[in-house]
């Protein structure tokens, strides 16, 4: 039943952005040392950030894929959040501390769509941190690979 | 043999070392690139972690099912845990992960569990407390499979890692061996380099010593030495050169040669330099070298040599040696020689003249009797005839007649005396001891005297005397010579005249000359004799049977020429005409 609901949510999101407000599943918790913290950003708030799409390969899939979402640094700038690192936490309690410079050195995307399809929780959704791996040779390294957090739901800015 | 082999060996060893060095270096680099590439590509698989996370997700779902059974977990919790497990399956079924599992033999197990997962999805969605037991039974194989797969993954990864490390070790060992080889090759090269350096330094030292010695030789040489390059620009100029040309080395070096001194622009220097630059050696002896502010030139010997390096001609060297002393000696020798030659020639000429005179004197003496017979007989005959008449007349002679006869005899004797003097003069002339005593004299009188005397000598002969001249008949001549000439011509004319014909004597003149033509109507003289008739002792064909010595015409012409005149044979018109030519007296002549 929940699966079905999630699937429906995805379908409606693809069909029209007007129905996106009806999806409580899409929310990102941001905590840390900034004025509005803690804050939970819903779909409407995230839609305000300009959408970006990057093409890249990943270490866990074949071929290249297009990822659509928003830039991590746009989100941090939007919140006025500053610090040295961001701890990203996934639904399965996987957590990684990512240096802040990554987001300013590279166009690190918080993807909501892969190849035009919304990411589902039963796959890599709702959010997947994607590095532009193919554009920078230095990013083709296992020390960057573990920063590709999927099923992201919380960021802690330190 | 060893000498020709050693350089080749010396070259082969470093070359081989360099080749080995380069090959080993290339090999090591290729190996290292391979390792670098392998490390980048293969270090990204992390199946152990993926399977561990999957196992955790399965266990968490079982746990949540149990809690939900007890009512301690919500349906949302259950849904989340289920979605997380589903997401693991999505991951495991994706490209690289799926291939790994198939490779380790878990592909079918994965498919079966995927099907199980699909089948339990409705049970999760419609879960109610108490539904847990069958669900847990369904979920029980999941952790087991993931555990077994993790085991296999661990072993596979370790096998793979071990293999890869072994490969790396092999490659590193090869690289280490290569590096040792490189070090050895480098060591050999370093030793060769040190040896070569030492040898080079030794050679340099030798070269420097030789160069210093050459420089010492050049600078201390008394000879001027200069060198030029291919563009005839001066490259060396020694101190002797400075003294020779009064130009210092600073002013000369690096200057074009023809700009240093005019001497270098002269043809011998230019040609010498040119041929030296073409590789030929040349020398020019005793060339004059004019220096600034010096009246007398130096005389120098120039020697040109090409300056070579192997086959190339780098320039030319010119040695200049001051040979003025030698030149002076040579000049003096030449002068002495010239003077000696002149003296010898002078003496030879004198001797020749003396010999000639001696011969002439001999000739004259030999012909003296002939001359007497020819020339002296006529006056003797006249005197004899006059004296005979006087004797014949004896006492019958009247005083006037005696005087007349005696005068005639005396005149003849006087003529004879003159003739003797003249003959002696002629002898002296022949001997080169005599000239003509030219004075003003009346040629008309002389002609008349000679004619009168001739008539006395040969009373039968007829002489037509004619003066085709107006005014003075004064000649500038020696009267004795003139008389002698005329007598000769007249007696000849009569002697060779046809019988019963007359001999004509005609005096005429032009502005400068007096001409006395003596003509007869005798046999003309053949063409082949005309040129020789004046030669000494020559007698023509028509003189056969006529008394004579052949000296008369020779003497006549010689005497005429002695006083600036001449005796010539005129072209035949009618008979034979001899012409005596004498200068007219103009006054003031000497």
Average pLDDT across chain B, whole number: 84
Instruction: Report if residue B517 sits inside a domain.
Output: yes
Boundary residue ending a domain (B220, B244, B279): B220
More confident residue, B549 or B69: B69
The backbone torsions φ and ψ at residue B583, rounded to the nearest 5 degrees and listed phi first, read -70, 140
For residues B71 and B97, membership in a common domain is answered with: yes
Report d(CA A86, CA A76) in Å as an integer.
10
Q: Do B96 and A145 touch (CB under 8 A)?
A: no
Instruction: Report if residue A3 sits inside a domain.
Output: no
Residue showing tokens 């330099």: B273
Q: Kindly report the CATH number assigned to the domain that includes residue A62.
A: 3.90.420.10
Residue whose C-alpha is closest to residue A79's, from A22, A140, A12, A31: A31
Which residues in chain B touch residue A4, judged by CB atoms under 8 angstroms apart? 125
**pLDDT on residue B459:** 81
Residue showing tokens 């999630």: A6
For residues B187 and B303, membership in a common domain is answered with: no
For residues B353 and B485, membership in a common domain is answered with: no
Q: Do B87 and A121 touch (CB under 8 A)?
A: yes
Residue B441 tokens, joined: 């004299």
Would the pLDDT of B457 be above 70? yes
Domain tally for chain A? Answer: 1
For residues B256 and B384, membership in a common domain is answered with: no
Cα distances (angstroms) measured from residue A9 to each of A42, A68, B78, B396:
14, 17, 19, 215
Asked if residue B446 lies in contact with residue B482, where contact means CB atoms within 8 angstroms, the answer is yes
Burial label, B208 (beta-carbon count in 10 A; 0-12, 13-18, 19+)? exposed
Boundary residue ending a domain (B414, B434, B454): B434
Establish, for the pair of chains A and B, how many residue pairs have beta carbons separated by less than 8 Å: 64
**pLDDT on residue B368:** 62
**pLDDT on residue B435:** 66
Would the pLDDT of B194 be above 90? yes
For residues B443 and B529, membership in a common domain is answered with: yes
What lies within 8 Å, CB to CB, of B171 at 6+ separation is B31, B32, B34, B35
Q: Do B90 and A140 touch (CB under 8 A)?
A: no
Instruction: Report if residue A20 sits inside a domain.
Output: no
For residues B417 and B466, membership in a common domain is answered with: no
Boundary residue ending a domain (B378, B399, B434): B434
Question: Coil, strand or helix: which one is B282?
Answer: strand
Instruction: Report if residue A2 sits inside a domain.
Output: no
Share of chain A above pLDDT 90, in %: 31
For residues B299 and B268, membership in a common domain is answered with: yes
More confident residue, B45 or A93: A93
Report d(CA A69, CA A127) in Å as an integer.
9
Across the range B120-140, mean pLDDT stands at 82
What lies within 8 Å, CB to CB, of A54 at 6+ separation is A66, A67, A107, A109, A130, A132, A135
Q: Do B87 and A124 touch (CB under 8 A)?
A: yes
Question: What ipTM was estimated for this complex?
Answer: 0.79
Helix or strand holding residue B11 (H, E): helix B2-42
Q: Which residues of B touch A (CB under 8 A)?
A: 40, 43-44, 46, 53, 56-57, 60, 75-76, 79-80, 82-84, 86-87, 90-91, 94-97, 121, 124-126
Residue B21, min C-alpha distance to chain A (Å): 33
Least confident of A108-122, B446-460, B542-556: B542-556
> Strands B502-509 and B513-520: what pairing?
antiparallel
**pLDDT on residue B471:** 75
> Where in the sequence is the domain holding B494, given as residue range(s)?
435-583
Report d(CA B260, CA B242) in Å as an integer.
11
Report d(CA B496, CA B503) in Å as an integer.
10
Would the pLDDT of B261 be above 50? yes
Across the range B46-74, mean pLDDT stands at 87
Instruction: Report if residue B565 sits inside a domain.
Output: yes
Residue B85, min C-alpha distance to chain A (Å): 8
Which residues in chain A touch residue B79, judged by CB atoms under 8 angstroms apart? 1-3
**pLDDT on residue B536:** 67
Q: Do B97 and A60 touch (CB under 8 A)?
A: yes
Report d(CA B152, CA B154) in Å as an integer.
5
More confident residue, A15 or B267: B267
Which residues in chain A touch residue B91, judged by CB atoms under 8 angstroms apart? 60
Residue A21, min C-alpha distance to chain B (Å): 20
Cα distances (angstroms) measured from residue B479 to each of B101, B419, B494, B515, B560:
169, 12, 22, 15, 11
Instruction: Report if residue B589 sits inside a domain.
Output: no
For residues B472 and B507, membership in a common domain is answered with: yes
Q: Would you call the peptide bond into A38 cis, given omega within 30 degrees of 0 as the criterion?
A: yes
Nearest-CA residue of chain A relative to B93? A61
Nearest-CA residue of chain B relative to A6? B83
Domain tally for chain B? Answer: 4
pLDDT confidence bin for A22, thresholds 50/70/90: very low
Nearest-CA residue of chain B relative to A1? B125
Which residues in chain B touch residue A117, judged by CB atoms under 8 angstroms apart? none
HSE, side-chain direction, 13 A CA sphere, residue B240: 17
For residues B67 and B188, membership in a common domain is answered with: yes
Q: What share of chain A is helix, strand, coil (3-state, %, to 5)?
A: 30, 35, 35
pTM of the model: 0.47
Best probe of the B interface among A4, A25, A58, A60, by most B CBs < 10 A, is: A60
Would the pLDDT of B519 be above 70? yes
Q: Kindly report the CATH number assigned to the domain that includes residue B439.
A: 3.30.565.10
Condensed to tens digits (0 to 9), the pLDDT of residues A98-132 reads: 999 999 999 999 999 999 888 888 888 789 999 99
Instruction: Report if residue A79 sits inside a domain.
Output: yes
> Where in the sequence is the domain holding A135, given as residue range(s)?
25-157
pLDDT confidence bin for B549, thresholds 50/70/90: low
Which residues in chain A touch residue B123, judged by CB atoms under 8 angstroms apart? none
Residue A132, min C-alpha distance to chain B (Å): 17
Would the pLDDT of B342 be above 70? yes
For residues B478 and B574, membership in a common domain is answered with: yes
Instruction: Report if residue A7 sits inside a domain.
Output: no
For residues B236 and B358, membership in a common domain is answered with: no
Condensed to tens digits (0 to 9), the pLDDT of residues A136-153 reads: 888 888 888 889 999 998
Which residues in chain B touch residue A140, judged by CB atoms under 8 angstroms apart? 40
Nearest-CA residue of chain B relative to A119? B87
Instruction: Report if residue A127 sits inside a domain.
Output: yes
Across the range B30-38, mean pLDDT stands at 84
Q: Kindly report the CATH number assigned to the domain that includes residue B418.
A: 1.10.287
Residue A125, min C-alpha distance to chain B (Å): 9
Instruction: Report if residue B590 sits inside a domain.
Output: no
Instruction: Report if residue B588 sits inside a domain.
Output: no
Instruction: Report if residue A86 sits inside a domain.
Output: yes
Neighbours of B288 (CB within 10 A): 13
Helices (H), A2-111: 2-15, 43-47, 72-79, 101-105
Report d(CA B46, CA B160) in Å as an integer.
12
Condensed to tens digits (0 to 9), the pLDDT of residues A74-91 reads: 888 888 888 899 999 999
**pLDDT on residue A70:** 92
Which residues in chain A touch residue B57, judged by CB atoms under 8 angstroms apart? 92
Instruction: Report if residue B451 sits inside a domain.
Output: yes
Asked if residue B226 lies in contact with residue B244, where contact means CB atoms within 8 angstroms, the answer is no
For residues B397 and B444, membership in a common domain is answered with: no
Instruction: Report if residue B183 sits inside a domain.
Output: yes
Residue whose C-alpha is closest to residue B61's, from B135, B129, B169: B135
Condensed to tens digits (0 to 9), the pLDDT of residues B216-227 reads: 888 888 888 888
Instruction: Report if residue B125 sits inside a domain.
Output: yes
Nearest-CA residue of chain B relative to A61? B95
What lies within 8 Å, CB to CB, of B198 at 6+ separation is none
Instruction: Report if residue A12 sits inside a domain.
Output: no
Report d(CA B432, CA B17) in Å as an integer.
108
Shortest CB distance from A123 goes to which of B44, B87, B121? B87
């Amino acid at each position: 039943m929940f699966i079905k609901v999630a699937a429906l949510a995805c379908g409606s999101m693809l069909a029209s952005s007007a129905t996106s407000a009806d999806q409580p599943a899409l929310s990102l918790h941001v905590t840390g040392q900034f004025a509005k913290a803690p804050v939970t950003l819903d779909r409407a708030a995230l839609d305000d950030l300009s959408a970006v799409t990057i093409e890249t390969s990943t270490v866990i899939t074949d071929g290249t894929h297009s990822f659509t979402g928003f830039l991590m640094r746009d989100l941090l700038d939007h919140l006025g959040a500053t610090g040295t690192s961001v701890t990203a936490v996934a639904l399965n309690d996987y957590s990684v501390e990512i240096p802040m410079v990554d987001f300013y050195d590279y166009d690190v995307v918080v993807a909501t769509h892969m190849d035009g399809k919304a990411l589902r929780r039963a796959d890599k959704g709702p959010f997947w941190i994607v590095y532009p791996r193919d554009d920078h040779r230095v990013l083709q390294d296992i020390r960057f690979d573990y920063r590709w957090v999927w099923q992201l739901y919380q960021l802690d800015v330190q | 043999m060893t000498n020709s082999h050693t350089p080749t060996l010396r070259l082969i060893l470093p070359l081989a070392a360099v080749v080995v060095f380069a090959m080993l270096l290339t090999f090591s680099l290729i190996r290292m690139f391979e390792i670098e590439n392998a490390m980048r590509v293969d270090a990204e698989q992390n199946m152990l972690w993926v399977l561990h996370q999957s196992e955790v997700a399965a266990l968490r779902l079982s746990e949540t099912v149990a809690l939900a059974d007890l009512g301690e977990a919500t349906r949302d919790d259950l849904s989340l845990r289920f979605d997380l497990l589903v997401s693991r399956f999505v991951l495991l079924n994706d490209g690289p992960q799926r291939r790994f599992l198939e490779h380790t033999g878990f592909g079918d197990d994965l498919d079966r569990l995927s099907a199980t997962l699909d089948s339990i999805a409705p049970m999760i969605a419609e879960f109610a407390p108490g539904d847990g037991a069958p669900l847990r039974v369904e979920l029980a194989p999941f952790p087991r499979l993931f555990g077994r797969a993790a085991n296999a993954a661990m072993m596979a990864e370790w096998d793979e890692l071990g293999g890869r490390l072994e490969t790396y070790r092999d490659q590193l060992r090869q690289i280490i061996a290569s590096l040792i080889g490189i070090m050895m090759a480098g060591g050999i090269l370093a030793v060769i380099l040190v040896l070569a350096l030492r040898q080079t330094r030794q050679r340099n030292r030798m070269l420097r010593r030789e160069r210093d010695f050459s420089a010492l030789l050049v600078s201390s040489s008394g000879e001027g030495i200069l060198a030029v390059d291919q563009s005839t620009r001066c490259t060396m100029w020694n101190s002797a050169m400075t003294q020779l040309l009064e130009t210092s080395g600073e002013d000369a070096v690096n200057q074009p040669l023809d700009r240093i001194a005019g001497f270098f622009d002269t043809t011998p220097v230019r040609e010498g330099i040119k041929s030296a630059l073409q590789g030929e050696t040349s020398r020019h002896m005793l060339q004059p070298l004019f220096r600034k502010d010096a009246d007398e030139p130096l005389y120098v010997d120039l020697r040109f040599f090409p300056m070579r390096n192997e086959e190339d001609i780098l320039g030319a060297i010119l040695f200049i040696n001051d040979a003025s002393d030698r030149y002076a000696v040579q000049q003096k020798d030449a002068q002495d020689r010239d003077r000696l030659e002149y003296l010898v020639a002078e003496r030879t000429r004198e001797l020749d003249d003396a010999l000639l005179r001696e011969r002439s004197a001999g000739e004259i003496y030999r012909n003296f009797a002939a001359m007497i017979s020819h020339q002296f007989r006529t006056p003797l005959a006249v005197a004899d005839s006059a004296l005979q008449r006087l004797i014949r007349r004896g006492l019958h002679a009247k005083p006037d007649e005696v005087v007349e006869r005696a005068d005639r005899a005396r005149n003849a004797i006087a003529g004879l005396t003159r003739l003797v003097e003249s003959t002696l003069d002629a002898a002296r002339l022949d001997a080169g001891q005599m000239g003509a005593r030219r004075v003003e004299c009346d040629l008309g009188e002389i002609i008349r005297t000679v004619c009168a005397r001739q008539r006395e000598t040969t009373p039968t002969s007829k002489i037509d005397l004619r003066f085709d001249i107006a005014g003075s008949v004064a000649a500038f001549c020696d009267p004795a010579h003139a008389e002698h000439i005329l007598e000769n011509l007249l007696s000849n004319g009569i002697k060779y005249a046809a019988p019963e014909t007359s001999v004509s004597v005609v005096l005429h003149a032009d502005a400068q000359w007096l001409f006395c033509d003596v003509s007869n109507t005798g046999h003309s003289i053949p063409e082949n004799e005309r040129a020789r008739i004046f030669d000494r002792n020559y007698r023509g064909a028509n003189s056969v049977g006529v008394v004579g010595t052949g000296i008369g015409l020779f003497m006549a012409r010689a005497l005429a020429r002695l006083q600036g005149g001449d005796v010539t044979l005129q072209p035949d018109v009618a008979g034979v005409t001899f012409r005596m030519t004498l200068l007219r007296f103009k006054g003031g002549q000497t």
